[in-house]
Chain A
Amino acid sequence: MTEPQGLDQPWRIWASAAVVAILLAGALLGGIIIPVVQGQSAGVDAFTAICRAIGILPGSPARPQPLDRNPPSPVSQVVWTPDVLQVLARADTERGRTKVMEVCIACHGEQGVSPAPVNPNLNGQSGAAIYKQLHDYRTGSRSNDQMTAVAQALEEAVIADVAAYFAGQPKRDPNPKTLGGSRPEIVKLVELGDPARGLPPCAACHRPGSGGPIETPILAEQSNEYLVHQLQLFATGQRRNDVYARMRTIAAGLTSAEINGLATYYRAGFK
Chain B
Amino acid sequence: MRNVERLCLAHFWVAFAAFIVAAILGTWQMWVRSPLGANLGAPETYFMSVTAHGTAMAYVLTTFFIMGFGYFVAVTALARPLPGKVWAWAAFWLSLAGTIMAVATILSGRASVLYTFYPPMTASAFFYIGLVLVVAGSWVWSVLMIVAMTAWKRENPGVPVPLAMYGTVANAILWLWTTVGVAAELVFQVIPAALGFVQTVDAGLARTLFSWTLHAIVYFWLLPAYIAFYTMVPRAAGGRLYSDAMGRLTFILFLIYSLPVGMHHLFMDPEHGNAFKFVQMLLTAFVAVPTLLTIFTISASMEIAGRLRGGRGLFGWIGALPWDRPMVLATGLAFIMLGFGGGGGLVNMSYGMNAMVHNTAWVTAHFHLIFGGSVVIMYFAIAYEIWPRLTGREHASPAPLRLQLWLWFVGMMVMTLPWHWLGLQGQWRRVANFNYSDPIIAGWGPWVIVSLIGGVILLASALLFVRNVFDLRSSRAAAADRPLYALAVYPPQRVPAALNGFGLWNVLVLVLMLAAYGYPIAQFIVAPSPGAVVHRVE
Interface residues of A (CB under 8 A from B): 1-3, 7-8, 10-12, 15-16, 19-20, 22-23, 25-27, 29-31, 34-35, 50, 52-56, 60-61, 80-82, 85, 192, 195
CB of A217 to closest CB in B, whole Å = 21
What is the interface residue range for chain B against chain A?
35 or more
Chain B 444-472, CB within 8 Å of chain A: the 1/0 string?
Answer: 00000000000000000000000000000
Whether B276 lies near A12 (C-beta < 8 A) is no
Residues on the A chain within 8 Å of B200, using CB? 82
**What are 28 A-B interface contacts by the 8 Å CB criterion?**
A1-B497, A1-B500, A3-B496, A8-B498, A12-B504, A15-B498, A20-B511, A22-B286, A23-B512, A23-B515, A26-B278, A26-B279, A26-B282, A29-B278, A30-B277, A30-B281, A30-B282, A31-B278, A53-B273, A53-B274, A53-B275, A54-B276, A55-B272, A55-B523, A61-B274, A82-B200, A82-B533, A192-B438
From B158, B279, B438, B498, A11 is in contact (CB under 8 Å) with: B498
From B286, B438, B501, B519, A54 is in contact (CB under 8 Å) with: B519
From B272, B275, B440, A35 is in contact (CB under 8 Å) with: B275
Whether B504 lies near A11 (C-beta < 8 A) is yes
Provide the main secondary structure of the chain B interface.
Answer: helix
Question: Among B273, B282, B508, which residue has the most Cβ atoms of chain A within 10 A?
Answer: B273
Residue of B nearest to A6 (CB): B496
| Alpha-carbon distance between A61 and B277 when the two chains are bound, in angstroms | 13
From A1, A53, A60, B501 is in contact (CB under 8 Å) with: A1
CB of B530 to closest CB in A, whole Å = 8
Which B145-203 residues have a C-beta within 8 angstroms of A?
153, 157-158, 199-200
CB of B522 to closest CB in A, whole Å = 11
Residue of A nearest to B274 (CB): A53
Question: Among B440, B498, B523, B533, which residue has the most Cβ atoms of chain A within 10 A?
Answer: B498
Q: With contacts A2-B157, A34-B274, A56-B273 known, what are 7 further pairs, Cβ within 8 A?
A: A11-B496, A15-B498, A19-B512, A23-B279, A23-B511, A30-B274, A50-B275
Interface residues of B (CB under 8 A from A): 153, 157-158, 199-200, 256, 272-279, 281-283, 286, 438, 440, 494-501, 504-505, 508, 511-512, 515, 519-520, 523, 530-531, 533
| Alpha-carbon distance between A195 and B440 when the two chains are bound, in angstroms | 9
| Alpha-carbon distance between A15 and B508 when the two chains are bound, in angstroms | 9
CB of A191 to closest CB in B, whole Å = 9
Provide the main secondary structure of the chain A interface.
Answer: helix
Whether A55 lies near B519 (C-beta < 8 A) is yes
Q: A26-B283, A55-B520, A85-B533 are in contact. Are A3 and B497 (CB under 8 A)?
A: yes
CB of A8 to closest CB in B, whole Å = 4
| Alpha-carbon distance between A16 and B252 when the two chains are bound, in angstroms | 13
CB of B349 to closest CB in A, whole Å = 13
| Alpha-carbon distance between A22 and B279 when the two chains are bound, in angstroms | 9
CB of A162 to closest CB in B, whole Å = 24
Whether B157 lies near A1 (C-beta < 8 A) is yes
In order of increasing CB-CB distance, the 8 nearest A-B pairs are A30-B278, A55-B273, A11-B498, A26-B279, A31-B275, A2-B158, A53-B275, A26-B282
Residues on the B chain within 8 Å of A192, using CB? 438, 440
Residues on the A chain within 8 Å of B508, using CB? 15-16, 19
CB of A198 to closest CB in B, whole Å = 13
| Alpha-carbon distance between A1 and B149 when the two chains are bound, in angstroms | 13
Residue of B nearest to A3 (CB): B497
Whether B282 lies near A29 (C-beta < 8 A) is yes
| Alpha-carbon distance between A42 and B71 when the two chains are bound, in angstroms | 57
Whether A8 lies near B276 (C-beta < 8 A) is no
Residue of A nearest to B440 (CB): A195
Residues on the A chain within 8 Å of B505, using CB? 15
Whether A7 lies near B440 (C-beta < 8 A) is no
Residues on the B chain within 8 Å of A7, using CB? 494-497
Residues on the A chain within 8 Å of B504, using CB? 11-12, 15-16
CB of A201 to closest CB in B, whole Å = 10
Residues on the B chain within 8 Å of A34, using CB? 274, 278
| Alpha-carbon distance between A16 and B533 when the two chains are bound, in angstroms | 44
CB of A204 to closest CB in B, whole Å = 12
